[in-house]
Amino acid sequence: MFLMGTFALLTGKEICRELGQRCRQLRLQANLSQLELAQRCGASLSSIRRLEASGQATLELLVRVTQALHLSSQLENLLLVPALSIAQAEREAAAKQRRRAATPRGPRPARA
């Protein structure tokens, strides 16, 4: 088990494996078997086993598992978009404003 805040130091596979292990621990704390969890979230038993053993699962399965364990509120802090100050929002809006392409200077080519 890794310490909180160490995900920045891990590879993608290590993070997935850690999340799978956490799912297993949370399932056991809820006193559920893998089969019971699979039934609660509408997944196959092999999908739950794979998630817990290696962290391999779809994002949808991970969400359904957290819902089945009544932990989906913890997902709200995942990938938060930072709030902008009013000044930052105005700068971004000004930068995104469309501008016309400059017309080329000089003589126009003759039309045939």
CATH topology of domain 9-79: 434 Repressor (Amino-terminal Domain) (1.10.260)
Percent of residues in the chain assigned helix, strand, coil, to nearest 5: 60, 0, 40
- Measured CA to CA, the distance from residue 110 to residue 23 in angstroms comes to 71
Whole-Å CA distances, 11 to 8, 17, 24, 75, 79: 8, 10, 20, 21, 17
Mean pLDDT within 51-74: 96
User: Whole-number mean pLDDT of the chain?
Assistant: 87
- Nearest Cα to Cα of residue 69 among 41, 101, 92, 43: 41
- Measured CA to CA, the distance from residue 61 to residue 66 in angstroms comes to 9
Residue 112: pLDDT band with limits 50, 70, 90: low
Break the chain into its structural domains and give their ranges: 9-79
Tell me: the pLDDT tens digits for 21-51?
Answer: 999 999 999 999 999 999 999 999 999 999 9
CB contact set of 40 (below 8 Å; sequence gap of 6+)? 32, 68
